[in-house]
A and B are shown apart, each in its own frame.
Chain A
Amino acid sequence: MTTMTATTTQVYQLFIRATPEQIWEAITTPEFTAQYFYGARIEVNGERYLSLGPDDSVWGDDPVLEFDPPRRLVHGWRSLYSPELAAEKSSRVTWEIEPQDGGYCLLRVVHDQLEGAPMTAEAVSGGWMMVLSGLKTLLETGKPLAG
């Protein structure tokens, strides 16, 4: 889909009409993530980021590097759902939640340290947009993104 080359840092941000606590809950609890993250049930605590696919296969099992609810989460990333991508080096995902005026928060996701994972970089770039767009829809309407 994309022809981006040699991108080692990807930045995504959007405004979501929700509290930091709601956003934090939506990105760290499996009941929520299953509704917008390609069906993945993602469980995050201070040590571990575990992502299970709808068929219970492990999609991601990475260390949590920073855990500061409800403002900042940093964890490792390896795409275990694909043997080809899983063979690449680990990268890093940072979630930042900043409260704004009017009941909105700015959510910024930075996926970096992708130097050793060019195929992962290519594969996740469209995926993050789908995930974040779905997260926004879920939090603002209570419904998963249609289609």
Chain B
Amino acid sequence: MDDDAVFKALADPTRRHLLDRLHERDGRTLSELESELEMSRFGVMKHLRVLEAAGLVVALRSGREKLHYLNPVPIRLIHDRWIDKYTEGHVSALVRLKTTLEDTA
């Protein structure tokens, strides 16, 4: 619903790191996520709240625990709206050239 919230949430290295951790293994508790970051519990909570507000993380209750799941749909929607359009034809040819040159370098 709100692209701004998604871009804002993604514009922070700690939050991107949290998404990568969830992508690696989904459905984690706050304590698990906290143990992998050099950050206070409060700090991690704050970042998770921003990610939840952007819809990038969904917290579901499982018994007494609250498990955090990565919701990749907003990124897909941004991809469809903002990336697909600009990466057709000549742009993707340049990206391929860059990848090829950097891989062989």
Q: Which residues of A contact B (CB under 8 A)?
A: 2-15, 104, 108, 110, 129-130, 132-133, 136-137, 145, 147
Contact = CB atoms under 8 A, between A and B. Distances in A.
Contact of B73 (A8, A12, A145): A12
A4 B21 CA distance: 10
Q: How large is the interface on B (under 10, 10 to 19, 20 to 34, 35 or more residues)?
A: 20 to 34
Interface of B: 1, 23-27, 55, 58, 60, 67, 69-74, 76-77, 80, 84
Nearest to B76: A129
Given A4-B26, A5-B24, A5-B25, A11 B58 contact: yes
28 contacts: A2-B23, A3-B24, A4-B26, A5-B25, A7-B26, A7-B27, A8-B27, A9-B26, A9-B67, A10-B26, A11-B69, A11-B71, A12-B71, A13-B58, A13-B73, A14-B73, A14-B74, A14-B77, A15-B1, A15-B55, A104-B1, A130-B76, A132-B73, A132-B76, A133-B76, A133-B77, A133-B80, A136-B77
